[in-house]
Amino acid sequence: MADLTDYTAVKLLSLLQAGELTSTELTKAYLDRIEACDQKIGSFLRTDPEESLKHAAAMDRRRNAGESPGPLAGLPIALKDNLCTRGQTTTCGSRMLENFKPPYDATVVEKLREAGAIPLGKTNLDEFAMGGSTESSALGETCNPWNTTCIPGGSSGGAATCIASGMSPLSIGSDTGGSIRQPAAFCGVVGLKPTYGRVSRMGLVAFASSLDQIGPLARTAEDAALLLEVIAGHDARDSTSLDQSVPRYRSVLQQPLKGLKLGVVEEHFGEGLDAEVESAVRESIRVYQELGAKITSVSLPHSEYAIATYYVIAPCEASSNLARYDGVHYGYRTDENILHATLKQQRSGLSATDDEQALNNLDSPLVRLYRQTRAEGFGAEVKRRIMLGTYALSAGYYEAYYLKALKVRRLIRQDYDEAFREVDLVIGPVTPTPAFPRGSKIDDPLAMYLGDLYTVSANLAGVPAISIPCGFSNAGLPIGLQLQGPPLSEDRLLQAAHWFQKETAWHQRRPALN
Amino acid sequence: MKSQQAWRRGKKMSLTRNEVERVSLLARLQLTEDDLETMTTQLNQIVGYVEQLAQLPTDNIQPMAHGVERFNVFANDERRPSLPCDEALTNAPRRDDDCYLVPAVLGD
Amino acid sequence: MMSDKPYKIVIGLETHVQLLTETKLFCRCQNRFGGPPNTQTCPVCIGLPGTLPVMNRKAFQLSLITAIALNCEVPKFTKWDRKSYYYPDLPKGYQISQYDLPMSQNGWLEISDPQGNFDSKRVGIIRAHLEEDAGKSMHDELAGKADSRIDLNRTGTPLLEIVSCPEMYSSLEAKTYLTELKLLLTYLEVSDCNMQEGSLRVDANINLHVDTPQGKVATPIVEVKNMNSFRAVERALDYEAQRQYSEWQEAGKKLGDVPKQTRGWDDGAQVTRAQRSKEESSDYRYFPDPDLVPVIVEPEEVEQVRQSLGELPAVLRKRLQTDYSIKPYDANVTVNQGPKFAEYFIRLAETSGDPQQASNWMQQEVLRTLNEESWAVDEFPVTPDELSQLLQAVQKGEIDRSRAREVFREMTMQGNSFQQAMQSLGIEQVDQSALLQLCEQLLTEFPQIVADVKAGKQQALGRIIGEAKRRNPNVNPGQFRQPCLDLIEQK
């Protein structure tokens, strides 16, 4: 048998179902691959080989006993470390939650277990999923498998790299402003951000609640369809979960594309788009034309405001979602002895200078506990966004920033509604450039944010979007193609992606890791 | 992109260091002098960029606060088991037999 | 009432009421007072990462019922917002509350005073909105500066916040408003309103409108907290009015000159004390909670709820007066004792056929017993139908009032039926011939009395009646008197 870790999930599943492969063998193959490669890549924050093999053996036993153990039975899967796993550390890449063990499973994790998937481990991410490079993780570095001096993208950097480097056939990421699609593009894999509400957020550690959505990463659209079918669906524990039945995505894939109306987003081919990315995307549009799609041009006129809108709404929600990390009920707490000693010193210093006002303003031990805990527990990017969001929501600024952004968000949504009256899906790049060198934007947050130009709109509008490998730069870095559709058009997106992959071989290239 | 570049260059600093310090208390973040310096610069850059939203007329536009427009989602008033005390407190940084412990809240 | 003072007191009240649901507002932990610490919590109410709130249907319905009973408008669209502040008993770092679009607004509650200390009036309700409660921070002050202990059992309990207009002009009006509000909530069965257990909590905003040669001047508004009973509210407001007047005389500060102050009522010392608060704490950064979806209430639903409200105190008071011809004062007392008491009265009035007697018994014997035994109406062992038999016997003159009280006591204390109680006290109907025989005998024994009565001293008869009762306790003086007089006449 050829290297198992090179196969698609769909292929592996058929081997498992045919009894030609055991889950134990398969899981072992991936664990070996992780052992061999992950030191170089850093996809995983934690694996538990023993635990994974135990699950695999149980699955094998059930299959041997003639049971039908679920649609993903025996297939290994990697989980982004912002998905809560019962009794197992869930860190969000943050010092704040380094030792946090949730007493419950995320709904998605529950569904995966029920489907028989074998958890391989938890993957690295930007701290609390805030970032586009996975560099803000406090707990590990992740490299781009195509060029380890480059960033893998983010925030689902570990989720994308483990697929690209054959360390897992499937993985789960989360996407708030492009966090699945952008690393998928940078690593040459498929990544889907479903419609807001399609997948339950219960147990996904919130970054920006009205934008966050869980989605699959895989090598092929077919694999992504297989996974989405399992994780999608209504959940009574998430008030924003959509109460709509889940289509059989995999059977829709096979239907021909003929007559598909694709809209090329004018605004996504403007200034700032890298020439190599542009030509790869334009070439892809030609592929669709050959597949029988009808190509027209569409406008999303408020696109230029998307980043500004996003970088108000996301930090505002984040500042509130992250208020709970205060060192009181769980997570990191600063050293209280040092805290009391420091305060005492500061108090006596101020008393000596008779600075009554400063003395009055000195934090109480409790307030200092909060502030010091959060100063030590959070990294720079998280703090920046908390500060930004706190400022934008504070008295006197709410209307100018937050409320204004909510209104522009509506305009962005209306642009999509307008476009989808004309076309089935819109097409364009995922990112303005391929992956960039590690450290190159770390001190320029705004430059980093501007890289989210083409991805944030889908989150703001709540529409689904997929990233598919569509070429490589001269430097050998992958380039991604983005398709976006109206709400609940995941079937259409996957179908379009599937036919593209039948015509192209970009997704079959593998990075050289040895 | 053009307007974005312009905003990056053209916007004057609007957030003062004092304001950043006030926000850091609201956000319960202890910032060092250096942090404050960097934060003030970076926040001004970002806020400067974001201010382009003001150009856009939005008078009769309904704000969109949710990712999905649903209404009236309720759960039935039916009891489910709570966590046992010990399990509830399992992640507590400091606790006694049955409570979370923090420095005194009085004198705040 | 306060016309003798050179100022008018202006009071607005903010009341927090815990709703009587089985589970909390956003999770399905039990909503009950008094469990051991941290035994009624789950990942959602502890605010663990990744958890999401789902609104309790019952809590919303109870809020809707209350809002409508308070004559509030119920807007079609309402939503929930996050109110951000840091406190260890608030595990998410924000409270889910309602800010700019509350579920109800612009209502009123009518209050009146049977003693006529103020004219009946409608106190405006600015808004009533549904929010979650925080947990409890416990601090042992005697133990010095050590630690506070945090219990999250109460975290996430549904609260209805009811905000009145500043339209009460004396502590009595404030107390009456609270009493009436509590009564309404009790009739609606939306809350048990137990102030000791914190299921009803009151904060007051108070200031003065002082008469000066330049006209009326408003003093700074003070918010008073920590009042644990209606009596405490009354006293705190009286104290605060006097304190503010003294302060006005000394410092002359007007509304707007100083930031709003918060003071706590110290029940031991019977004074209010300033509470320290940091300036920044008032910046709550409200914004719509993205985890909860808005609620739309159609006008038809509001109408439906209105139809199903049942009889509320104000209406019931009027009905008792018209249907049972009892006095306004009696109707007030009956209704104010709560729906169960009123229901008992109505049944008793119906079955006994004598509403005024029923009302008297309810307000005297029944109420006294309930108080003495600390019984709720539910726990009162005598059914209205049993009690009605007693009342009818009294009415027919079969048994006198003092005997009737003994029977009542027997019924309540031993849990006996009317018949059993009569038997165990040995009370039987004394038949006419036995009565006449006893009368004959006594008149023979006491000729002087016969002479006195004949001479016009009717009161001399008392001695004979007393003696008759002594010899046979079942003798009803009312029934004895006339035959006795008749016999004397014949002598």
3-state class (DSSP) for residue C220: coil
Residue B4 predicted with pLDDT over 50:
no
Distances (CA, A) of C478 to C10, C127, C475: 57, 59, 9
Angle at Cα B28 formed by Cα B24 and Cα B31, nearest 5°?
50
Strand C215-218 and strand C158-164: the pairing is unpaired
Tell me whether C282 touches chain B (CB under 8 Å).
Answer: no
Rounded to an integer, what distance in angstroms lies between the CA atom of residue A97 and that of residue A88?
12
Domain stops at, among C300, C334, C368 = C300
- The verdict on residue A501 lying in a domain is yes
**Which is higher by pLDDT, C472 or C362?**
C362
Query: Which residues of chain C lie closer than 8 angstroms to B108, CB-CB?
Result: 276
Query: Which residues of chain A lie closer than 8 angstroms to B11, CB-CB?
Result: none
Question: Is the same domain home to C393 and C478?
Answer: no
The least confident of A486-495, B9-18, C321-330, C356-365 is B9-18
Residue A444's closest chain B neighbor by CA?
Answer: B42
Residue C142 predicted with pLDDT over 80:
no
What is the predicted pLDDT for the residue at C144? 59
pLDDT tens by residue, A409-432: 999 999 999 999 999 999 999 999
Q: Are A95 and A139 in contact (CB under 8 A)?
A: yes
**Which is higher by pLDDT, C462 or C18?**
C18
Residue C82's closest chain A neighbor by CA?
Answer: A320
pLDDT tens by residue, A302-332: 999 999 999 999 999 999 999 999 999 999 9
Question: Is the same domain home to C12 and C159?
Answer: yes
- For residue A352, the surrounding DSSP H or E stretch is helix A336-352
Q: Residue B108 — very low, low, confident or very high, per pLDDT cuts 50/70/90? A: very low
- The verdict on residue A472 lying in a domain is yes
Of how many residues is chain A composed? 514
Angle at Cα A485 formed by Cα A274 and Cα A469, nearest 5°?
40
Question: Is the same domain home to C416 and C437?
Answer: no
Interchain pair C94, A320: CB under 8 A: yes
Question: Is the same domain home to C108 and C189?
Answer: yes
Domain stops at, among C250, C268, C300 = C300
Q: Are B85 and C37 in contact (CB under 8 A)?
A: yes
Rounded to an integer, what distance in angstroms lies between the CA atom of residue C204 and that of residue C14?
6
How close C2 gets to chain B, by Cα (Å)? 38
- The verdict on residue B39 lying in a domain is yes
Q: How far is CA A31 from the centre of its chain?
A: 23
Question: Is the same domain home to C280 and C367?
Answer: no
Which of C50, C54, C86 lies closest to A84 in CB terms? C50
How close A24 gets to chain C, by Cα (Å)? 31
The least confident of A235-244, A245-254, A462-471, C144-153 is C144-153
Q: Residue B11 — very low, low, confident or very high, per pLDDT cuts 50/70/90? A: very low
Number of domains in chain C: 3
Proportion of chain B above pLDDT 90, given as a percent: 79
The least confident of A204-218, B19-33, C61-75, C437-451 is C437-451
Residues contacting residue A48 through CB under 8 Å, at least 6 positions apart:
A88, A121
Number of domains in chain B: 1
Segment A104-127 mean pLDDT: 98
Which of B78, B91, B98 lies closest to C28 in CB terms? B78
Tell me whether C21 touches chain B (CB under 8 Å).
Answer: yes
Rounded to an integer, what distance in angstroms lies between the CA atom of residue A173 and that of residue A216?
6
Segment B80-104 mean pLDDT: 96
**Which is higher by pLDDT, A193 or A271?**
A193
Rounded to an integer, what distance in angstroms lies between the CA atom of residue A284 and that of residue A481?
8
What is the predicted pLDDT for the residue at C472? 77
- The verdict on residue A132 lying in a domain is yes
Interchain pair A106, C50: CB under 8 A: yes
Residue C29 predicted with pLDDT over 90:
yes
Interface test with B, best of A266, A311, A324, A407 (most B CBs within 10 A): A407
Residue B5 predicted with pLDDT over 50:
no
Interchain pair A398, C285: CB under 8 A: yes
Q: Residue B6 — very low, low, confident or very high, per pLDDT cuts 50/70/90? A: very low
What is the predicted pLDDT for the residue at B7? 44
How close C54 gets to chain A, by Cα (Å)? 6
Q: Which domain holds residue B43?
A: 1-58
- The verdict on residue C353 lying in a domain is yes
Proportion of chain A above pLDDT 70, given as a percent: 99
Q: Angle, nearest 10°, between helix axes C461-471 and C432-445? A: 120
Which of B4, B19, B103 lies closest to A450 in CB terms? B4
Which of C84, C148, C283 lies closest to A323 in CB terms? C84
Interchain pair B102, A369: CB under 8 A: yes
Proportion of chain C above pLDDT 90, given as a percent: 72
Rounded to an integer, what distance in angstroms lies between the CA atom of residue A428 and that of residue C371?
79
- The verdict on residue C1 lying in a domain is no
A–B CB contacts, 8 A cutoff, strictly below: 180
- The verdict on residue C260 lying in a domain is yes
Chains in contact with A, counting 3 or more C-beta pairs less than 8 Å apart as contact: B, C
Q: Residue B10 — very low, low, confident or very high, per pLDDT cuts 50/70/90? A: very low
Q: Which among C50, C85, C66, C72 is positioned nearest to C18, based on CA atoms?
A: C66
Interchain pair A326, C86: CB under 8 A: yes
Q: Residue B52 — very low, low, confident or very high, per pLDDT cuts 50/70/90? A: very high
Interchain pair C283, A370: CB under 8 A: no
Rounded to an integer, what distance in angstroms lies between the CA atom of residue C66 and that of residue C109?
11
Question: Is the same domain home to C416 and C446?
Answer: no
C468 torsion bin: left (phi>0), alpha (psi -120 to 50), beta (else): alpha
Chains in contact with C, counting 3 or more C-beta pairs less than 8 Å apart as contact: A, B
Whole-number average pLDDT of chain A: 96
How close C377 gets to chain B, by Cα (Å)? 28
Residue C361 predicted with pLDDT over 80:
yes
What is the predicted pLDDT for the residue at A469? 98
Q: Are B30 and A383 in contact (CB under 8 A)?
A: no
Query: Which residues of chain A lie closer than 8 angstroms to B25, CB-CB?
Result: 367, 371
Q: Are C443 and C487 in contact (CB under 8 A)?
A: yes
Interface test with A, best of C82, C286, C291 (most A CBs within 10 A): C291
Interface test with A, best of B15, B53, B74 (most A CBs within 10 A): B53
Which of A92, A104, A328 lies closest to C150 in CB terms? A328
Sign, Cα dihedral of A243, A245, A250, A254: negative
ipTM (interface pTM): 0.96
Q: What is the CATH number of the domain that holds A155?
A: 3.90.1300.10
Number of domains in chain A: 1
Tell me the CB-side half-sphere exposure of residue C166, using CA atoms within 13 A: 14
Tell me whether B6 touches chain A (CB under 8 Å).
Answer: no
Interchain pair B102, C42: CB under 8 A: no
pLDDT tens by residue, C177-212: 999 999 999 999 999 999 989 999 999 999 999 999
Q: What is the CATH number of the domain that holds B3?
A: 1.10.20.60
Interchain pair B56, A459: CB under 8 A: no
Interchain pair C56, B82: CB under 8 A: no
Rounded to an integer, what distance in angstroms lies between the CA atom of residue C310 and that of residue C333?
20
Q: Which among C106, C84, C82, C104 is positioned nearest to C93, based on CA atoms?
A: C84
Sheet with C81-84, side-by-side order of all strands: C94-97, C81-84, C287-288
Rounded to an integer, what distance in angstroms lies between the CA atom of residue A243 and that of residue A200?
11
Tell me whether B75 touches chain A (CB under 8 Å).
Answer: yes
- The verdict on residue A502 lying in a domain is yes
Query: Which residues of chain A lie closer than 8 angstroms to B92, CB-CB?
Result: 329-330
- The verdict on residue A295 lying in a domain is no
- The verdict on residue A145 lying in a domain is yes
Interchain pair A238, C52: CB under 8 A: yes
Which of B53, B83, B107 lies closest to A364 in CB terms? B107
**Residue C336 burial class via C-beta count within 10 angstroms: exposed 0-12, middle 13-18, buried 19 and up:** middle
Segment C273-289 mean pLDDT: 80
Query: Which residues of chain B lie closer than 8 angstroms to A100, CB-CB?
Result: 91
Q: Over the range A363-382, which residues count as b (16 or more CB within 10 Å of their CB) and which as e?
A: bbbbbbbbbbbbbebbbbbb
Q: Which among A123, A242, A139 is positioned nearest to A180, based on CA atoms?
A: A123
Q: Residue A361 — very low, low, confident or very high, per pLDDT cuts 50/70/90? A: confident
Q: Over the range C371-386, which residues count as b (16 or more CB within 10 Å of their CB) and which as e?
A: eeeeeebeebebebeb
- The verdict on residue A206 lying in a domain is yes
Tell me whether B96 touches chain A (CB under 8 Å).
Answer: no
Rounded to an integer, what distance in angstroms lies between the CA atom of residue C313 and that of residue C311?
7
pLDDT tens by residue, A14-41: 999 999 999 999 999 999 999 999 999 9
- The verdict on residue B43 lying in a domain is yes
Beta-ladder partners of A147: A144
Q: Which among C285, B45, C91, C100 is positioned nearest to A319, based on CA atoms?
A: C285
What is the predicted pLDDT for the residue at C277? 62
What is the predicted pLDDT for the residue at A1? 47
Beta-ladder partners of C73: C105
- The verdict on residue A172 lying in a domain is yes
How close C4 gets to chain B, by Cα (Å)? 41
Interchain pair C50, A102: CB under 8 A: yes
Q: Residue C143 — very low, low, confident or very high, per pLDDT cuts 50/70/90? A: low
Please list the active-site residues of A. Answer: 80, 155, 179
Q: Which domain holds residue C392?
A: 311-424
What is the predicted pLDDT for the residue at C403? 85
Which of C36, C57, C280 lies closest to B77 in CB terms? C57
Rounded to an integer, what distance in angstroms lies between the CA atom of residue A14 and that of residue A18?
6
3-state class (DSSP) for residue C377: helix
Question: Is the same domain home to C446 and C414?
Answer: no
Tell me whether B53 touches chain A (CB under 8 Å).
Answer: yes
Segment A56-78 mean pLDDT: 95
- The verdict on residue C306 lying in a domain is no
Interface test with A, best of C27, C147, C153, C287 (most A CBs within 10 A): C287
Q: Which domain holds residue A156?
A: 4-258+433-441+459-508
Tell me whether C457 touches chain B (CB under 8 Å).
Answer: no
A70 torsion bin: left (phi>0), alpha (psi -120 to 50), beta (else): left
3-state class (DSSP) for residue A420: helix
Question: Is the same domain home to C394 and C252?
Answer: no
Interchain pair A411, B42: CB under 8 A: no
Interchain pair A196, B67: CB under 8 A: yes
DSSP state of A506: G
